[in-house]
Structure formats: C-alpha cells, structure tokens
Structure 1
Amino acid sequence: MKPTHKLLFVLCPMLVLGFIYYSSGKLRLHMWGQKARKCSSSIYKRPYAFISLYDKQGFLLQLDTKLPLELVYKYGNLSEGTCKPGYAAAKMTAIFPKFVKPAPMFLDRNFKRLAKVSNYFPPFGFKTQERIIDSILAATKNYGLGKELDGPGCRRCIIVGNGGILFNKSLGSRIDDYDVVVRLNEAPVAGFTKDVGTKTTMRITYPEGAIQKPENYEKDSLFVFSAFKSLDFKWLRQMVLKEKLRGIEGFWKSVAHYVPREPSDMRILNPYFIQEAAFQFIGLPFNDGLMGKGNIPTLGTVAITMALHNCDEVAVAGFGYDMNKPHAPLHYYETVKMSAIKESWTHNISKEKEFLRKLVKANVITDLTNGI
C-alpha cells in the first residue's frame, strides 16, 4: 500500500469520528439550550435546579380559590349555601400537606396522652401542670361543645375578631347564622349587635383578657380558657371552684375575680393550637419551646387554628390590622388606636397576617370583613 493511501486510511476514520463527536456535541448544546430557555423564568435560577412547590413553612406557593381536581367531585356540585362536610380540612391539606385534622378542641380526662403538648411548658403545652389540670377537669366533667354540636352533622363556624373593621358593617344577622360563633376575650355584644350579632357559642380568653364584670357575660355560652403561663391554671382552678382569688402578683394587668359560669360550662382549650399556629403555620421563633419575644400568635389566630381542625367550614369577621392607618380604631368597642399594636412584644403581626392571607387566598377560610 502506498504511503498516501495509508495516510488516507488513517485520516478518514478520524475525520468521521470527529464529525460524529462534533455533531453530537452541537446536539447536546442545542438540547441544553432548549432546556435552559424553558427554565429561564424568574422562578428558575439555573438549568435543572430543584424547584420547590412549597414555601419554607410547607405551604403551596401558587395559591388560588379553585378546588383541586380531587375535591371538585366531592364539593363542586353542592348548591350554594349548603354546608360542605370536611371542606376546611380538605382545602387546608391541599395547600399544606403536613396538616393532620385530628386534634381535640378541649382537654379531657385523657389529656396526658396528647404527646405533642405533654413535653412543652405553657403556652405551648401543659408540662408541670398535670395535677392542677386533673383537678379542674374533675370539676368541669364536660369536655365537648354539647349534644347538638358534638353530633355527626356538618358544622359551620365563625371566629369573630375584635377589630375596628367590624364597626358599622351590619354583619350581625350573618354572624348569627353560623352553627358555632366564637368570640374572644372581653369583646362586648350588648350595644353592638347590629354589627357583631347576638349569638355566642364560646368565648375564648385568658385571665387578663376575661370579662371582669359578671353582668357582661352572655347567659348561654361556654367559657373557654387558653393558658399562656403556669399561673393561669391556678387562676382557672379558683374560678372553677369558686374560690377567693389569691396570688395575683404574676399577672400583667388586673384579672377577673369571678366567672359567672357553672363548672360544667367551662373548658380548657387544647394548647396544641397555640403550638401549631406559632411554629408550623406562622414560623415564629421556637425559643426552646418557651414564651419569648415575638413568638406568641394572637388569640384570634389560635381560634382559627382550632376551627380548622374541628369545623367543616370556617369564616372570620373583624380580623386585620392595617398598620398604614395608625389612628384608626384598633377594636370595634373602644377608642384605642391601631398604633397601640406596635407596642406588643409577644406577637409578630406581619408574619401572622402573611399566614392568614394564605388561608383567604386559597379559600380555606372566608373573610366577611375583607380585612385580611
């Protein structure tokens, strides 16, 4: 074989292989470029990057009011105004997959089995308070809402906040249409029924927030106690057993000396709702599981959390702090201004509002006053 033929014999395969390599490289670059362009929106930072569908708390990033496909069949054909069984929990699970519905509303005689709260001090649990809680529950003897509301029927609940946004909205009759009407602390009904309604199923409070004038209590409502510190349980035991109030030095303001309710009408709210709202839903600082600066949810958000676990449909009214209006009334029943909320060291209003907006945007809850 001539030398030139030998050279061509060697070069030709090399040229062919080089062409194939070059072509395949161009092909790879072209395909990579297509993928990169596909992922070039503001959400995507680089090709093939892991893109989470959920925020750091575990909530779906893309929220809307549409029913997920798996819920359309169950709820899509129900007529408007019909109570939708399990709706709030189903919608909550759709946007927050970690949500688990079973969580008793109130503590009962088996409360020590509640593992999620047994290892935390108040307000996130009941550690060190077991004996005093036992004595309180032995006296109250009832641990539910009552025969009518504890049945298997569909339950529509509304949490009535204390916000000034309620004033002059004439929502009283709509609020009274709900099966369960939850009110908070000392917010009055008398004199404001046009806006806040007349019905009260339960009033959730803590010692410093409880109504101090016995005549201002509604006749047929449950007194639901929410503890934020160990001293609160001592106060509750004295209220349940109708004892003379003693040891009030640890409260940050004056407290009620008497609650005009029979023990059978008094309940202890499950502290799990405070824990879940603070750390799972809002993302407040854990602070070693102790109450600290900016890590306590407002009682309104605690009540909403309770309702998500125990009601089929959940609505709110009187929620929302507009910090751009510092001179607007903070509450519907008094002249304290919005700016006063800035002085609170226990709450993080902006993070809490962010959480509540997720619930409204995804139609997990209905906001009658559009304040959230």
Structure 2
Amino acid sequence: MRIMKPTRHLLLALCPMVVLGFLYYSSGRLHPWGWGHKSQKDLDSFFSVGRLFHSVYDKQGFLLKLDGNLPLELMYKYGNLSEGVCKPGYAAAKMTAIYPKFTKPAPMFLDPNFRRFTKISKFFPPFGMKMQEKIIDNILTATKSFGLEDELDSLSCKKCIIMGNGAILTNKSMGARIDEYNVIARLNEAPVSGYEKDVGSRTTMRITYPEGAIQKTERYEQDSLFVLSAFKALDFKWLRSMIFKERLRNTDGFWKSVARHVPREPSEMRILNPYFIQEAAFRFIGLPHNKGQMGRGNIPTLGTVAITMALHNCDEVAVAGFGYDMSTPHAPLHYYEKIRMAAIKQSWTHNISKEKEFLIKLVKAGVIQDLTHGICGSGC
C-alpha cells in the first residue's frame, strides 16, 4: 500500500493537467504537431486556468471565435429542417453556444407575480422595480392581461423581428418580408402609415417610454400592444395616467414633451420586464454598473433592450433598421425624419460603440439575422 500512494498522488496531479490540455486543444490555440514550436508565453498560459479561460471567452463571457456555423449538437437538431421552417429554440440555443451563462426563462411582460423575480426586485428603475411595487400592482390590476394575444401565445414556434428606426430601411422594399414574421416589434414613434413598402404594415407591439410615445393619436395602429419600457419611476405614474384616462397635470421630470393620451384599452397595455435592460447593460454589453443607478453611458438603447427580450421569448430573431454609421454625421438618422446621425453623439446615456460590439457578436454567430445589414455591414 505504501508503494501505491505516490502513484495515486501522481495520477491525481496529472488529471487536471490532462483536462486543461484537452480544453486548450479544443480552443484552437494548441495543435498536436505544434508542441515544439510554442513560445514560453504560450506554454505558461497552458498551465494557467485564468489564461486558458481568457483565451476562449472575452471579459463579458462571449466566445471569442464567432462564426455562423452550427455546433455539432445543433446541426443534428436543426440541420435537416426545410428552409423557412421555424426552428424551435434556435435563438436561445445559438446564444447559449456563444454565451454559456445565458438562461432563457424571462417573461416579456410583468404579471401580478412579478415579485418572484429577485433579479429586478433589488434594483431601482431602469434596471428593476424597487419602490414601484404598489403602482405596478395598481397598473396590472387594471390591464388584466400579461402576454401576447392568445393566438401568438399558443404558437409552438415564434419568429420575431425587432424593427429599428434607421434610415437604412429607406428604399429597401422589405415590407412584405417583414410582415411574414409572427411578432413584429416597433420602437417609439416610428410611423408605419406611408412607409409600408419599406417597413411593413403589421405591428404586434410598440415598445416605448413617455418621451418616445406617439403624441398624435391618429398615428397609432389599430391592433397592437402598447408596451412601456420604464427608465425612471415617473414613467410608471405616466402609464397609470394613460390607463385610467387621467389628465396629465404635471410633466416636470420628463426630458421632453410626452403623450397625454394613448388610444388603447387597459387590456392592450403592458410593462416590459426591466430585467432586459439590466441584462443588456451589465451582462451583455458591459456598461458601468454605477451602483445600479442610471448614469452616464450605462443605459442600452431601446432597440438592444428589445433584442434581449426577443432572445428570451422567441425561437428565431431577426432585426431590420439597425446600425449607426458614425462616420457619416450628416446622413439621416431615421427613415421618417431629417435628424442627422451626429445627433446620437449628444446622448449621455448610451455607449453606441460598446453596444455595437455586442450586436456584431450576435450577427456574426447567427444568433440574430440582420435583414438590412446595418450592424456590421460587410464585416460579418
């Protein structure tokens, strides 16, 4: 027995090294025929778990080597499906393949049991709903509906498209293709009427905040959900006023004029789960935490928040109208107005460059499909 102990100890010591070697080989950094040509720096990294992990994933936890190819296990699951057939769980599966920390369960909208979500209960708006529980209860008691329409909720596979408002949509004639999606999410006041050829004619939901909401009631589509993405406590009070048709007496605290009436019944109004703002900001993009408070450069754009929502709730996710080309400051920012690209630089809440890095990862890995190719142009 005494003779066997050193052998046992040696095997125990070698096992972790063998595992690390296999992982390192799998990462593509080491090849069986290249041992003798590795630098001392590479050899040192082999024996460092931290360096090994860093060689495979970036600091946010995303796989460094991204391409649109399906991992072997997904190829078996989705490879034989006919083109155009909805692929159940596809977006979440591809997201998990490049970001192992991704967990899917996160409902689109708050429901009466929202207190069960500890990830949002500890944060103030926009990253949570701390201190807003009573007014949210009040709102949800009135709306009585907490999902999509029954027909959409019952689908076994949902194809969703998030419509950005970029001028890149102009003259693309993608309206018919956009209308083929099950769920079409539009942002803020981006109009549909008069632009159907390029942006489609259907709207499932319009996600907005008070300052971004359509102010002319005649511009609202007839059949769509009105979804509040709350960025401050005042936004919930505004929504309550819209639901109960109360006169909006005081607009102090809003950074520009807001809608005073939303032509929707309470059953057609929703509150977007604030977890998507939190996850997009701190986990996916890596924006400053600022002790969980809104601060300079730590708020994701509404488009990225909507994409994050779709990754959790849709089987396939596409986008159109995304992509800011900051090298053309005089180009139009949106497809429906004359504001120039330079205007985005004036925003103190967003970090457009870091956000673009995140979206490029999703496009490169095929997690989302960019119909207008504005996120990374020819670089993906």
Asked if these proteins are the same fold (TM beyond 0.5), I'd say yes
1:39–1:47 Cα contact (<8 Å) kept: no
Q: Write the distance in 1 (CA, Å) between the matches of 2:52 and 2:92.
A: 26
User: 1:309, CA displacement in angstroms?
Assistant: 0.1
Q: Quick one: which of 263, 268, 279 aligns to 1:265?
A: 268
Give the equivalent residue in structure 2 for 1:108. 111
Q: Write the distance in 2 (CA, Å) between the matches of 1:174 and 1:242.
A: 37
Q: Write the distance in 1 (CA, Å) between the matches of 2:364 and 2:43.
A: 24
Unaligned runs of 5+ in 2: 1-33, 376-380
**1:331 aligned onto 2:340:** no
Q: Quick one: which of 342, 346, 367 aligns to 1:343?
A: 346
The SS at the match of 1:352 is: helix
Q: Write the distance in 2 (CA, Å) between the matches of 1:310 and 1:68.
A: 22
**1:231 aligned onto 2:241:** no
Change (3 A) 1:45 1:213: farther
1:57–1:280 Cα contact (<8 Å) kept: yes
Q: Quick one: which of 162, 173, 181 aligns to 1:170?
A: 173
**Mapping for residues 88-107 of structure 1, pairs under 5 Å:** 88-107=91-110
1:154–1:312 Cα contact (<8 Å) kept: yes
1:44–1:51 Cα contact (<8 Å) kept: no
**1:309 aligned onto 2:327:** no
Q: Quick one: which of 352, 367, 380 aligns to 1:364?
A: 367
Q: Write the distance in 1 (CA, Å) between the matches of 2:160 and 2:121.
A: 28
Q: Write the distance in 2 (CA, Å) between the matches of 1:46 and 1:75.
A: 36
1:36–1:46 Cα contact (<8 Å) kept: no
User: 1:199, CA displacement in angstroms?
Assistant: 0.3
Unaligned runs of 5+ in 1: 1-33
**1:155 aligned onto 2:158:** yes
User: 1:146, CA displacement in angstroms?
Assistant: 1.2
Change (3 A) 1:244 1:73: same
The SS at the match of 1:74 is: helix
2:123–2:130 Cα contact (<8 Å) kept: yes
Q: Write the distance in 2 (CA, Å) between the matches of 1:242 and 1:40.
A: 71
Q: Quick one: which of 77, 98, 122 aligns to 1:74?
A: 77
The SS at the match of 1:149 is: helix
Q: Quick one: which of 208, 213, 219 aligns to 1:210?
A: 213
Give the equivalent residue in structure 1 for 2:17. none
Give the equivalent residue in structure 2 for 1:38. 38
1:39–1:46 Cα contact (<8 Å) kept: no
Change (3 A) 1:47 1:119: closer
2:46–2:52 Cα contact (<8 Å) kept: no
Q: Write the distance in 1 (CA, Å) between the matches of 2:131 and 2:61.
A: 32
Change (3 A) 1:111 1:347: same
The SS at the match of 2:115 is: helix
User: 1:210, CA displacement in angstroms?
Assistant: 0.2
1:297–1:347 Cα contact (<8 Å) kept: yes
User: 1:226, CA displacement in angstroms?
Assistant: 0.5
The SS at the match of 1:51 is: helix
2:45–2:52 Cα contact (<8 Å) kept: no
AA matched with 2:74: L
Change (3 A) 1:129 1:47: closer
The SS at the match of 1:181 is: strand
Q: Write the distance in 2 (CA, Å) between the matches of 1:370 and 1:166.
A: 10
Q: Write the distance in 1 (CA, Å) between the matches of 2:283 and 2:245.
A: 37
TM superposition score normalised by structure 2:
0.87
Change (3 A) 1:234 1:82: same
User: 1:227, CA displacement in angstroms?
Assistant: 0.3
The SS at the match of 1:316 is: strand
2:288–2:297 Cα contact (<8 Å) kept: yes
User: 1:114, CA displacement in angstroms?
Assistant: 0.8
Q: Write the distance in 1 (CA, Å) between the matches of 2:173 and 2:128.
A: 38
AA matched with 2:301: T
**1:252 aligned onto 2:255:** yes
User: 1:37, CA displacement in angstroms?
Assistant: 1.9
Change (3 A) 1:36 1:290: farther
Give the equivalent residue in structure 1 for 2:148. 145
Residues 178-205 of structure 1: CA distance to partner in whole angstroms, max 9, x if unpaired? 0000000000001111100000000000
User: 1:39, CA displacement in angstroms?
Assistant: 5.3
User: 1:35, CA displacement in angstroms?
Assistant: 3.6
AA matched with 1:69: L
Q: Write the distance in 2 (CA, Å) between the matches of 1:156 and 1:208.
A: 29
1:210–1:255 Cα contact (<8 Å) kept: yes
2:109–2:270 Cα contact (<8 Å) kept: yes
Give the equivalent residue in structure 2 for 1:120. 123
Change (3 A) 1:57 1:36: farther
Q: Write the distance in 2 (CA, Å) between the matches of 1:47 and 1:279.
A: 30
Q: Write the distance in 2 (CA, Å) between the matches of 1:135 and 1:36.
A: 69
Q: Quick one: which of 288, 291, 295 aligns to 1:288?
A: 291
Give the equivalent residue in structure 1 for 2:52. 51
Change (3 A) 1:290 1:169: same
1:57–1:282 Cα contact (<8 Å) kept: yes
Give the equivalent residue in structure 2 for 1:62. 65
The SS at the match of 2:190 is: coil
Q: Write the distance in 2 (CA, Å) between the matches of 1:329 and 1:227.
A: 27
Give the equivalent residue in structure 2 for 1:195. 198
User: 1:177, CA displacement in angstroms?
Assistant: 0.3
AA matched with 1:72: M
Q: Write the distance in 1 (CA, Å) between the matches of 2:43 and 2:193.
A: 55
Question: Which one has the largest radius of gyration?
Answer: 1
The SS at the match of 2:227 is: strand
Q: Write the distance in 2 (CA, Å) between the matches of 1:296 and 1:46.
A: 36
